[in-house]
Amino acid sequence: MSLFKQALLCLVLVAAVGAGWYLYENPATLGLADEGAVEADRRGAPAARGGNRIPGLLGRGGAVNVITQPVETDPGGETVIALGTAKAARSVTVYPQVTGIVTDILFRPGAAVEAGEALLKLEDDEQHVVADKARVTLTQTEATLERSRTLAQSKTISDAALLEAETAAQLAEIEVRSAEIALQRRTVTAPFAGVTGLTDISVGDLVTTSAAITRLDDLSTVRVGFEVPERWAGRIERGHPITATAQGLAGSEFSGEISGIDNHIDETTRTLLLEAELANEGRALRAGMAITVTMSFETDQELAVSSLAVQWDRRGSFVWKVVDEAARRANVAIVRRESGIVIVRGEVKAGDRVVVEGVQRLRDGAMVTEVDETPAMIGDDGGGEIGQDGVPEISGAGAAANSRS
């Protein structure tokens, strides 16, 4: 085949493709839309305006059949959900202050104890002896001091002798206090009221000041540390109420408030560290539990559209708004997503009707026909394929919208 014939064939093919595309986009030019409507009526498929027609296909006069929904207002406010870890309001590992042999363990692991309650005793026979000796010495020095004061009144002894007797009495008193402190340190007590943990100590063990006896947690209140995105930093303040649930306590719910706010944003995660305090009546919560924290914020009424309505292109996100039976592009910014809906701001207002199905054939200014949203769009053959009579059934208009939104 000569080069001229090849070029001529290419031109013919290009012209044919162009003519076919033009007729596809403008079926009303040859009256195709009306003929299709008549054929649909003849086969029993509803074709009247407002009846059940296929979203995305052309209706009378070349208008695109679409399903719309109104833009609604969402007064529900905003909610932040974060996962944190519970910790006791006060927690300490208890150690003995002196080295000694354990003679008695006075607490039961997991039980509540009061502040100052004895937890463990060490061997203290020697300390009792030292304390008794110091008390005897104190008694003798006090008696000597009393005689010296009597003699001093009659000028029988000198002032120096009286001062010496007073000094001896003071030193004896100090020795008694020292002996009593040493004796008290042989008993380990709870520094505050709380719940004791497990222990590895047994009676007869020789313990030193580095041997942990048990862990004591004050669980009257529980603190929860968690992080939130930095965009909430300006809206959170101390005392903000929260609700919390514990993953280890099915059906539980606890109330509390924000008790602490960190003074900087984490540069890596861009989050703000918070601390909340929860009332823990009955001590159901334990330190280390995973806690889900929920915070609610009141907001002005916001605009909500179906997630199927939101589209994207290189200029950003938008919806197709129906104005005077024509599709008009309305640019929107997505604020957040919720179950099945998207909170938006932009060129829409409450009550505007936006296209949720049939969006794949829309262009700015295209005429549209709103059809009812019903499952059965084509007669009773209900197949999901193209029938022998050439009438197509719904073929993914909604699926396309879903995949794009």
How large is the average pLDDT for residues 47-57?
51
Q: What is the per-residue pLDDT for 122?
A: 95
Q: Worst-scoring range by mean pLDDT, 7-11, 312-316, 383-387?
A: 383-387
pLDDT digits (tens, 9 = 90+) for 143-157: 998 888 888 888 787
How large is the average pLDDT for residues 121-135?
93
Q: What is the per-residue pLDDT for 55?
A: 66
> In three state form, how does the secondary structure of the chain look?
CCHHHHHHHHHHHHHHHHHHHHHHHCHHHHCHHHHHHHHHHHCCCCCCCCCCCCCCCECHHHCEEEEEEECEEECCCEEEEEEEEEEEEEEEEECCCCCEEEEEECCCCCCEECCCCEEEEECCHHHHHHHHHHHHHHHHHHHHHHHHHHHHHCCCCCHHHHHHHHHHHHHHHHHHHHHHHHHHCCEEECCCCEEECCCCCCCCCEECCCCCCEEEEEEEEEEEEEEEEHHHHHHCCCCCEEEEEECCCCCCCEEEEEEEEEEEECCCCCEEEEEEEEECHHHCCCCCCEEEEEEEECCCCEEEEEHHHCEEECCEEEEEEEECCEEEEEEEEEEEEECCEEEEEECCCCCCEEEEECHHHCCCCCEEEECCCCCCCCCCCCCCCCCCCCCCCCCCHHHHHHHHC
Q: At what angle do helices 125-153 and 159-184 cross, to 10 degrees?
A: 160
Q: What is the per-residue pLDDT for 209?
A: 93
Q: What is the per-residue pLDDT for 371?
A: 86
Q: What is the per-residue pLDDT for 281?
A: 81
Q: What is the per-residue pLDDT for 383?
A: 37
Q: What is the per-residue pLDDT for 155?
A: 79
**How is the chain split into domains, by residue range?**
31-76+301-404, 80-88+215-297, 124-185
Most confident of 170-179, 250-259, 299-308: 170-179
Q: What is the per-residue pLDDT for 215?
A: 94
| 124-185: CATH class | mainly alpha
What average pLDDT does the structure give for the chain? 81
Q: What is the per-residue pLDDT for 25?
A: 63
Q: What is the per-residue pLDDT for 33?
A: 44
pLDDT digits (tens, 9 = 90+) for 11-26: 888 788 777 767 666 6
pLDDT digits (tens, 9 = 90+) for 263-312: 999 899 999 999 999 988 878 888 899 999 999 887 667 788 999 999 99
How large is the average pLDDT for residues 58-62?
62
Residues 6+ apart with CB under 8 A from 206: 99, 100, 101, 102
Domain 80-88+215-297 has CATH 2.40.340.10: no
Q: What is the per-residue pLDDT for 75?
A: 65
pLDDT digits (tens, 9 = 90+) for 358-386: 888 888 988 988 887 643 333 333 333 33
pLDDT at 37 over 70: no
Higher pLDDT, 60 or 143: 143
Percent residues over pLDDT 70 in the chain: 80
Higher pLDDT, 133 or 402: 133
Domain covering 31-76+301-404, topology: 2.40.420
Q: What is the per-residue pLDDT for 299?
A: 67
pLDDT band at 394 (very low <50, low <70, confident <90, very high): very low
Q: What is the per-residue pLDDT for 388?
A: 33
How large is the average pLDDT for residues 214-243?
90
pLDDT band at 247 (very low <50, low <70, confident <90, very high): confident
pLDDT band at 232 (very low <50, low <70, confident <90, very high): confident
pLDDT band at 182 (very low <50, low <70, confident <90, very high): very high
pLDDT at 261 over 90: yes
Q: What is the per-residue pLDDT for 376?
A: 37
